[in-house]
Every structure is written in C-alpha cells, then in structure tokens.
Amino acid sequence: MSASNETIEQVTRKGYEYGFITDIEQEYAPAGLNEDIIRFISAKKEEPEWMLEWRLEAYRGWLEMEHPNWQKVRFPPIDFQAISYYAAPKKKPGSLDEVDPKLLETYEKLGIPMHEREALAGVEKPEGEKPDVAVDAVFDSVSVGTTYQDKLKEQGIIFCSMSEAIHDHPELVQKYLGTVVPRKDNFFAALNSAVFSDGSFVYIPKGVKCPMELSTYFRINAGHTGQFERTLIIAEEGASVSYLEGCTAPMRDENQLHAAVVELIALDDAEIKYSTVQNWYPGDENGVGGIYNFVTKRGLCAGKRSKISWTQVETGSAITWKYPSCVLKGDDSVGEFYSVAVTRNRQQADTGTKMIHMGKNTRSTIVAKGISAGEADQTYRGLVRVNPTASGARNYSQCDSMLIGDRCGAHTIPYIDIQHPGAQVEHEATTSKISEEQMFYCTQRGIGAEEAVSLIVNGFCKDVFKTLPMEFAVEAQKLLEVTLEDSVG
Amino acid sequence: MALLEIRNLHAEVDGEEILKGIDLSLDTGEVHAIMGPNGSGKSTLAKVIAGDPGYEVTDGEVLLDGNNVLEMEPEERAREGMFLGFQYPVEIPGVSNTYFLKAAANAIRKHRGEPEVDAAQFLKHVRERMQLVQMDESLLKRPVNTGFSGGEKKRNEIFQMAVLEPRLAILDETDSGLDIDALRTVSHGVNALRSPERSFLLITHYQRLLNYIVPDTVHVMVDGRIVKSGDKQLAIELEESGYSLFEEGSAA
C-alpha cells in the first residue's frame, strides 16, 4: 500500500467521543415482550385506555408478521424476548428545575443546551451568537425535560414529549397517530407501535411560523434495552417548522435496538424541515457492539403546495436501515431528501428514501452522498413512484458514493416505478475514491494529510451540508472531521 | 550554498527506473529550464522533488537549503517553500478555490509560527494576485479546478503560486495546452514573480515558453539523465536540431 493510501486509512479510524455512561438509578421493565409488558409500559405512562388498546392491536399484528430479509445488511437474529422495553431514571422530575443534576450534566457533556436563556427586553443578541433552540431531551424511554415550552405556547405551538401529548392533547394524537405510518406498515413499525416510549410531539397551528428551531436529543443510556421513539409533527395550513434530531449512546459490546417511527403531516402551504444528525455508537473496529438503527420515517404532504424536507447526516450505528420518505398527496407539493451517510470499520447501512407522487405537479429531489471506509458496506436504496394521478410529476435523484480504501463497499439500488406518461424522472449516480492525486495535490500545497481527507470529504458532502440549518451544518462538518480524523503516523 | 541541490538522484515507479542519476544545482534567484523529449523523466523529476508518494527514490539526495527533503512529507516540503505547478491539476469538487488556498496559506503560516491569515486581508491579497494572471474572479468561488478549461487550470496553478509565494517553484509543463495569448499571460505572471529571493525550475517540452521566460540555465534531459547544460542559447539550438542529436549522443 502506498504512503498516501495508508494515511487515508489511518485517518478513518477514530474513537467515539460520546461513549460514556451516566451513573443514575433507573427502573426497568423485565426483559421480554408480551401483552403484560405492554400493559406495564402503558400503566407506567398512565395512559388512557384507547392508547393501550391501540398498542395491543399493534402487538397482535406484529405477532403475525415476519422479520424482513430483503435488506443488504447482515446481523444475527434478534432475540426480542431478551430486550427490556422500558428503562427510565427513577426520579421523576416535575419541572425543568427539578431535573436530576446528573442528567443535566450528561446533556452538558453532549453539548445540548438544557437551560432557557433569559430574553432581555431591548437587548439585541450579539452577532455570531447561537440562536435559541428549544430542546426535548429523551433519556432511554422517557423525556426528561423540554425547554421553551411556555414561550412557544404563546403562539399556540405545542412542543412536548409524546407521553405528555397523549395526556394533554388526546384529540390531536388520536386524529393523526398512525395515519402516515400505519401500525402494521412493517415489522419494526408494528413493534414500535406496541412498545413505543417517548419521542416528541409538535403541533404548529394555522399560519404560524415557528420562531425557533425545535430539537429532540435522544440518548440511550441503559444496557440490555431498546429505544422505541415515536415522533409526530403536524404543521397546519400555512405553518412552518424546522426540527432537529440528534442521537448518541454509550459504548457497549452488546447490540442495542433503536426502532423509531416518525410521522410528519403538512397541510396546505405548510412546510416541515426535519434534520437528523445521527451519531449512535457504531461499535468498535471489530464490529462488536453498536446500535441497530431500524427506523421508519415518513412524511405526508397532505395539503396543496406543502413541502417536506428530510436532511440527514448519519455517521453512527452499527447498522442503519431506514428510508425517510415523502408521500406527495397534495397538488404542487414538494418532497426533498438530502443525505450524507458515513460508514467505517464494520458499519453497515442500507438507507435511502421513497418519493411517492400522487398529486398533480408534485416535485421531489433526492441528493444522497455515501462515504464508505474500512470494511464498511453501504447501500443507497430509493424508490421514486409516480402514480397514474400524478400528472406533471418531476423527480431529480443524485446518488454519489465515495470509497476510502479497498475493502469497503458501496451499492446503489434505485427503484423507479412510473405510471404516468408525463413524468420527468432523472437519476444520476457516481462512485469515486479519494485519489492519490488529490491527496498529493493538497499536501503539495502544505495541507496536512488529515486535513486533506476532511477537506475532500466535506467538499463531496457540500450539496447536502448547505441544506442543513446553519448551526447544524457546522456541527455536521465537525462530526465528519471527528469521525474521519486520526493521528497520522 | 545552492537553494536546491540534487545529487545522483535515482527513482523508479513500479520497479522501472525513470531517473538514472540526476545532478543539478539551482541558486537562489535563478531560473533553470529542463527540456527533453517525451518520456525522458522530466515530470518524474518534478514530482520526486515535491515528494509524490507514487515514486520510489532508490539513491541520491535532494537538498533544500542543505536539508534533505527526501525525509520530509510532501506537506513539509511545501511548508518549507516548495511549490509544484502541476501538469495536470487535480479537481477537488465542492471545495472552493479560496477555501483551499486559505487552508494552504494557513498551514504554511502555522509552520512558520505565524498567526492565521486575516480573512479580509487575505481576500485583498488574493484579488491582487488574480490580476497577475488575469483570472476571472468568479473562479475564486468555484470548486478547485472543477469544470475549469485546460487554460483556466494552468492559470490557476500560477495564481496559487502567486498567492503562496514559494521560494522554489517547479512548473511542470505549464505551457502545454495553452494558446499563445494564455501563454503570454501565464509567462507574464511568472516574470512578475521573479525575484532575487525566488528560484524557478521550468519543465518544458517546447522552446517557445523560453521566449517569454528567459532562463539563466537550460538542461537537456534524455532517458533519465541530464545530458547537456548551457545558457539560453542551448534551447534555441535544440529547437533547430531536435532531441535526436542528444538521444544518439547518450546512446554512444
């Protein structure tokens, strides 16, 4: 192997920075899955009867379903009876001020702001200071706090944990839950519907533009558990919101399951931008441990001229298996998917999107960038479907893969299903490597090898990074540096 | 002491010897040209001096200010003031020209113990240097060499050199692929940067470049060796006689 190839290899090996464990007293559901466990979870959350019934129905459906096997990721069969489906800190906080200091410390360590800043009347924020972000912090199975709730409420915006929403806004939950991702949509969605714990609920009323970014930070802490997040975002007519999601977990040598369901609903002229920076523990360099990130994310552009954008930066998880999708039902609605997925060591990813065109003049854009290093294997899998009703539909897809080293894999599997003769669908795909010529060109200008790799990879991802909210873009860029950085010998 | 001193340099690629014992001495402020037929090893010499890891040095020394550069990584050589103008400049999609140059300038400054460049001052410096090669300002924002025409790429190399202000610039066939106007512009850029503190090593296939950039010394390279050195007159003789004279000579 030549010197520069060696450098690139070294640069792509680097430890995980968020692998610590918070030492806190937690209570668990006993391992295993049956109707009693579901009753236990529902009772813990003091849920109304309809919610329990909804869960049980999902569970019964799940029992009859088979684990899918079409994915291009490999893992030993999951023992669903060995997982504990509920873990929560013992001390229940009443308000933000009462949150266990250890938890606050945890979020501080992760760089998540859990304090609301006092807004001073008449004082402008100094330039360059970060804008306010409202945070819902989910720790294992429960939300431990949500900031800026009162301020948001002034405009009628609801931002709370799913558990709270079930109590306080049952009419909205009942109206929308499971309407985009039905309970029996797929194996993991059914499992999630049966045992889901916390996640966020967002409701933006008619005509309201959410004044700050909303974000949920998911942290898995407990061992031998799974996290089954459930998020529901509704933007009424003319409303808009930008929502961010971040995730980390401790380093453990077991595999932990994160099976989430996220549903987005955009009514007429509404806009939802959903950004994810996923940094679950990826396992060690031999492929031991790490999170199985098996997630169903789907947005429904229900209204005319509505728009849903998914942006994701995926660097973590032992296995990532998800397809954030848009169902473009309203006429003139727009769906977007921008993704950067980095896999290294033994990580595997089978990810992409689905754009389902139903309404007239619907448009979708897909930009997916995959970077594979070490012995990682990555697949872009995407579906573009144009239904017979979708006259004037247009899609543009671009899938680029970058390979680092010679033992990793990248695959692109586009499914295109066109049932309207007027559809315009474009698909472009490239596969490239960081060439020795590029490395030499950079180093010859004085740029060190590590910085050169990060420069080239960031350049490769630029189309996606520029779609991220400002603050997140910086974080994503840093994350990529951390992921790919290492001491060069 | 010479700025660049090459002694008995041997180098190979994939087991095939390309450089078969090069000796060359270049003083500060001098401009040397290396001419030779295709496949004589001119470009290999340029890349070996700059530290391209694709080549293996099997014998000899390359000294910059008396320090052995063969033990340095390419980035260290660059930070010590060595610049290679590439024959085939590489595209780096998504990385703007300005960003790239700033990263390079900062790496060099850090090496010298200087603070990072001030953004506004750097932009001013960059704009001034663009004038030298009459490069369009829009190229600053475009990704490095991506979608550039052949001529734009070559101008961009000279522009980068002008911004980074090396002590030793090695220009590898900068003239190839340039029309006569572009050649004039690029030559003008190089001449403007000639100074008693800066040395140039021009690698070229044709004599015409040397009409615009007049060298102090011309070396003729054939089959991995320098077979003759002389003043600018040698280049003119070469234009008339061709390289075959030397090829036969070296075989004899």
* DSSP secondary structure, B139-185, as one string: HHHSEETTT--HHHHHHHHHHHHHHH--SEEEEESTTTT--HHHHHH
Q: For residues A85 and A302, which has the higher predicted lDDT (pLDDT)?
A: A302
- What is the predicted pLDDT for the residue at A399? 93
Query: Residue A51 pLDDT > 90, yes or no?
Result: yes
Q: How confident is the model at residue A486 (pLDDT cuts 50, 70, 90)?
A: very low
Assess if residue A454 is contained within a domain: yes
pLDDT tens-place string over residues A63-90:
999 999 888 888 888 899 888 888 877 7
Cβ pair A435, B53 in contact under 8 A: no
In sequence order, what E strands does chain B have? 4-13, 16-26, 31-35, 56-64, 67-68, 82-85, 92-96, 143-144, 168-172, 199-204, 217-222, 225-230
- In this predicted structure, which of A23-37, A120-134, A452-466, B47-61 has the lowest mean pLDDT? A120-134
pLDDT for A1 equals 39
- Which pair of structure tokens corresponds to residue A183? 């309970």
For the cut 80, the answer to whether the pLDDT of residue A272 exceeds it is yes
Q: Tell me the residues of B at the A interface, defined by beta carbons under 8 Å apart.
A: 50-54, 73-75, 77-79, 83-84, 86, 88-95, 100-101, 103-104, 107-108, 111, 143, 160, 164
Q: How many domains does chain A have?
A: 1
The domain of B184 spans 4-251
Q: Percentage of residues in chain A with pLDDT exceeding 90?
A: 46
Res A52: pLDDT: 95
ipTM of the complex: 0.95
- Round to whole Å and give the CA distance between B157 and B135: 11
User: Of the candidates A375, A321, A330, which has an alpha carbon nearest to the alpha carbon of residue A351?
Assistant: A321
Phi, psi (deg, nearest 5) at residue A327? -105, 110
Q: Which of A46-50, A312-316, A465-469 has the lowest mean pLDDT?
A: A465-469
Considering only residues B131 and A481, tell me which one the structure prediction assigns the higher pLDDT.
B131
Banded model confidence at residue A239, pLDDT cuts 50, 70, 90: very high
Is A446 in contact with B92 (Cβ distance < 8 A)? Answer: no
Give the residue-averaged pLDDT of B89-105: 93
- Angstrom distance (rounded) from CA A416 to CA A422: 14
The CATH number that applies at residue B66 is: 3.40.50.300
| Residue of B14, B47, B75, B82 to mutate for A, most A C-beta atoms under 10 A | B75
**Cα–Cα distance measured from residue A191 to residue B98, given in angstroms and rounded to the nearest whole number:** 51
What average pLDDT does this structure show over A253-268?
90
Burial of A410 (0-12, 13-18, 19+ CB in 10 A): buried
| Residue B248, pLDDT score | 56
Bin B177: left if φ > 0, else alpha if -120 < ψ < 50, else beta.
left
| CA torsion angle A275 A281 A282 A286 (round to 10) | 170
The pair phi, psi for residue B103, each rounded to 5°, is: -60, -40
- The reply to whether A293 falls in a domain is yes
Q: Is the pLDDT of residue A47 over 90?
A: yes
What is the average pLDDT across B96-117?
A: 93
Instruction: Dump the DSSP string for A72-102.
Output: S---PPP-TTSSBS-EEESSPPSSGGGS-HH
Give B183-207 pLDDT, tens digit per residue.
888 899 899 999 999 999 999 988 8
Burial of A46 per CB tally in 10 Å (0-12, 13-18, 19+): exposed
**pLDDT, position A277:** 84
Question: Do the chains contact at A459 and B75, CB–CB below 8 Å?
Answer: no
A318 token code pair = 């032992």
pLDDT tens string A387-435: 999 999 999 999 999 988 788 888 999 999 999 999 999 999 999 888 8
pLDDT digits (tens, 9 = 90+) for A11-45: 555 567 777 777 777 777 888 899 999 999 999 88
* Cross-chain Cβ contact A444/B94 below 8 Å: no
Query: Using CB atoms, which residue from A437, A438, A447 is nearest to B75?
Result: A447
Residue B125 vs residue A486, higher pLDDT: B125
The predicted model gives A438-451 an average pLDDT of 94
Mutate to test the interface with B, among A1, A402, A445, A450 (most CBs of B within 10 A): A445
Distance between CA atoms of B221 and A4, rounded to whole angstroms?
Answer: 29
Residue A104 in contact with residue A139, Cβ under 8 Å? no
- Chain A residues whose CB is inside 8 A of the B89 CB are 441
Length of chain B: 252
Q: How many structural domains does chain B have?
A: 1
- In a domain, residue A123? The reply is no
Q: Are A59 and A194 spatial neighbours (Cβ–Cβ below 8 Å)?
A: yes
Cβ <8 Å between A443 and B108: no
Residues of A in contact with B153 (CB under 8 A): none
- Chain A residues in contact with B102 by the CB 8 A cut-off are none
Residue A311 lies in a domain: yes
Higher-scoring residue by pLDDT: A204, A76: A204
CA B195 to chain centre: 16
Q: Tell whether the model's pLDDT for residue A283 goes beyond 60.
A: yes
- Residue length of chain A: 489
Flag whether pLDDT at A296 surpasses 90. Answer: yes
Q: Do B92 and A459 touch (CB under 8 A)?
A: yes
What residues have CB less than 8 Å from A190, skipping those under 6 apart? A58, A59, A61, A62, A65, A183, A184
Chain B residues in contact with A455 by the CB 8 A cut-off are: 92, 95, 100, 103
Chain A residues lying within 8 Å of B104, measured CB to CB: 445-447
Chain B residues within an 8 Å CB radius of A456: 92, 95
Q: Which amino acid is at A264?
A: L
Query: Across the interface, which of B53, B88, B95 has its CB nearest the CB of A459?
Result: B95
Per residue in B120-144, pLDDT (tens digit) is 899 899 999 998 888 888 888 899 9
Residue A178 located in a structural domain: yes
pLDDT confidence band for A453 (50 / 70 / 90): confident
A215 confidence band (pLDDT: 50, 70, 90):
confident
Establish if A127 belongs to a structural domain.
no
Phi, psi of B105 (to 5 degrees): -60, -40
- Does residue A86 or residue B219 have the better pLDDT? B219
* pLDDT at residue number A126: 47
For residues A251-267, average pLDDT: 88
Give tens-digit pLDDT for A315-358. 888 889 999 999 999 999 999 999 988 888 888 999 999 999 99
Residue B47 C-alpha, separation from nearest chain A C-alpha, in angstroms = 10
**Reported confidence tier of residue B251, pLDDT bands at 50, 70, 90:** very low
pLDDT band, residue A117 (cuts 50/70/90): low
φ and ψ at residue A79, rounded to 5 degrees: -90, 100
Q: Best of B76, B97, B110, B144 to disrupt the A interface by mutation (most A CBs within 10 Å)? A: B144
Residues of chain B with C-beta less than 8 angstroms from the C-beta of A445: 78, 83, 100-101, 103-104, 107, 160, 164
pLDDT bracket for residue A123 (50, 70, 90): very low
Q: Which domain holds residue A166?
A: 3-114+132-484
User: What percent of chain A has pLDDT above 70?
Assistant: 86
The larger pLDDT score, comparing residue A237 to residue B178, is at A237
The helix/strand/coil state of B233 is helix
- A3/chain B closest Cα distance in angstroms: 6
Residue of A nearest to B82 (CA): A444
Which has more confidence, B135 or B89?
B89
